[in-house]
Structure 1
Amino acid sequence: MFYSNSWTKCLICLIFITSGNSECPIPQVEGNQNVVLTNDALLKNDFPEGSEGTFQCANGYMKEQGSERITCTSGEWSTLELICKKKDCGAPKEMPHLTYEFNKEGTLFGATARAICDKGYQVQGSSYRQCYATGWSGRSRCEVVTCEEPIDIMNGMISEKPAKQFPEYGDVIQYSCDEGYTLIGNKSIQCNEDGEYNSFLPECKVSGRHHGIGEHDINAVTTNAAAVGSVICIVIAATLIVLFVVLCFHKKKGSYQTGEDSRRKEELLQFQNDLS
């Protein structure tokens, strides 16, 4: 009986010692950042023979295949077979006039996407979005570009415009002038993709017809002026000719009178000599 109790105690001690040597260390995952210990496993301090360690996929990853559990056998852990892959956010929700440009990660966890709007539209919200474990961050939409409210012009008016306060990309505003005025410049302006109009405002200048002088009258005045100019030229030419003739005649007449006076002087001298 004494020996039986002694052997029993020895066997219990042997089992205790053997069990103590069969404990496994805290499970570790080396070279695999996609897998982490569960919270339950992290809270345990001892992993005796036959205990299990549990793992899960890291944030942003999801299980592809394999078991999440390993077992402690003879002080060593079994091989972890859990394989995790990145979550796929999928393509962001489609929106009018909006497309996305993705980086090399595509739509997988950690990827970024740049929002791009069609011509004449601009991004509102997030210009860049990122794929998180919960899905895409932020929101993006494209809104049409608008221009400033069109203004009236002096001596003219807006003859046609869209039925909105602020014209949108592609909208056209038409201008016209009051009666008696002529439009100078483009009669229409268009809202561009940069929010500016494609042309300066036109101007309305007073026209000749506004003063009672039409195109026909202007042509008539021009013709009459040419005729009057021709007459003046003729008169000037005739006057010059007459003056020339008069000057020539006056010169000849002076020479004749001078000769006549000389002969009279000679006759007077001869008459005086005869009296002597």
Structure 2
Amino acid sequence: MAPALLLLSLAAVFTTVAPAKVCGRPRVSDGVDVSSMKRVFEIGEDVTLSCEQGYLPSTATPPRITCTATGEWTPANLACSPRMCQIPRPLQPFAKGRTEAPFKSVLNFSCDDGYVMVGANESRCLHDGTWSHPPPLCKGVNCPLPKPPREGRIVHDKAVTGTSTIYGQGWTYECNPPKAPSYERGSCMADGSATEPPVCRDVSCSIPPRIANGVITFAVMRQHSYKEKVKYSCLEHYTLEGEAEIQCQNTGNWSSKPVCRAPCEVGIKRGRIFYNGRKIWIEDLTPNRVLHGEHVAFYCKNKAEKCGYPVASTCNDGNLPIPDCYEQPGKIEYNLRSKNLPSEIRMCVAPPTANPTSPPNPA
């Protein structure tokens, strides 16, 4: 019997006791205040949940959770959403249409070149739904009034008062005739400085250049001084493209001269066209001529639908392309069966292929 008692006593010595259950700090959603919570809680302990400063609770009454015997917390039915700050209306377009920003958001401000910031360059959304700073003002850089050229004056684009002007404002330099400024324009620049005055110097332009199919009117063929002008005109039926007058510039060069564009001949022998708002048989177009830039419609036929449609072409300096779809009729068809020509049959509701240059169907 002695060995059995010994075994029982040894079993009693090595028996272990399970530790008591506890709960750690509860896991909660963002915005729930855990700053004052302990790290370990006993079974049965309660905790009242609340939101951090700057967050709004989802329930009117603060919920309580309890540490259960299993070491788990009862469900925490609380969500905390950040308080919102109203974005100032003038800034909403820059916020991609948003009207609010959540707590802790930051607005960063900057000014365009030539403007200085008056106020803070950033503002933070605070816990009470207000911004830490109001939006700043962007004030235009000031420049001292510009100095006139030595032998000339300044003409401001806008009237100025006082001893300064603001960024972006400009002016023109003028010299006493017949001198010309080395450059004509000045302005208040982004760094707060005004353009330095130019040098007034003698400038002349060579004899005005001739243009093809045009003439110089009311001008003497000589050298011309700064800002002197000459005028061009084109030969009959030629179209002037560009400015009729050119001017001697401060560089000693003339401004861009115009070009005389040639008229076009309508290059078909038989058919009807739409020109100047009416249908015309080609033999009635006398003289056979359309001016540069004018439109002519040629009639093509949709053979599948048995209807006609107009295709526009534009005279471009003597060249009037004939549309690929146009088929010139033979003499017999033209003279004896003209009612069957594309210009005379029913007009199509739409051309067979998209043709954005085509005019509306003529009557």
**TM-score, normalization: structure 2?**
0.37
Q: Which structure is higher in helix share?
A: 1
* Structure showing greater relative contact order (alpha-carbon pairs closer than 8 Å, 6 or more residues apart): 1
